[in-house]
Each structure stands twice: as structure tokens, then as C-alpha cells.
Amino acid sequence: MADPNSALGSVEVNKFTLQYSCFPNVFALGNCINVLASKTGATIRTQAHVVVANLLSVVEGKKKSDRKI
């Protein structure tokens, strides 16, 4: 899952939807992702809304994950 371009081995996600690039039903948030954002709990609180909405969208069978940061 690690982004090969990341020296830290961060998880490669779409920076808007937080969806993992290889598997549409996988999302990541927090300090481990390759998104250029501050590594804080405050950032994670914002990301959590996006991940929950988009994960539910995938679970409910919708093709797209539209919620964005």
C-alpha cells in the first residue's frame, strides 16, 4: 500500500477522496497517508468525515466516492 515515491512509506491515496489508488473499497487517513497536510488530530477530524461518507458510498454499491476534502 505504500507509495513508492514516499521515503516514509506513506499510503498512496487520492488527496481529495482519501481512496486508496489500487482498491476502491480501501481508504486511509491520518499520519500514514501521502497527502500534504499537517499531521494533527485536527486534520484527522476533517478527514474522518470524508472517509466515512465515501466508504458508506462504496458499501452501498455506488460507483463513485464523491465526498472531498
And the C-alpha cell for 67? 465526498
Q: How far is the CB of 46 from ligand FAD (least distance, A)?
A: 11
Instruction: Return residues touching ligand FAD (CB under 6 A).
Output: 30-32, 39-42, 44
Nearer to ligand FAD, 24 or 30 (CB): 30
Interatomic CA distance for residues 12 and 14, integer angstroms: 7
Q: How far is the CB of 31 from ligand FAD (least distance, A)?
A: 4
Cβ neighbours of residue 69 under 8 Å, at least 6 residues apart? 15, 16, 18, 46, 47, 50
Nearer to ligand FAD, 17 or 51 (CB): 51
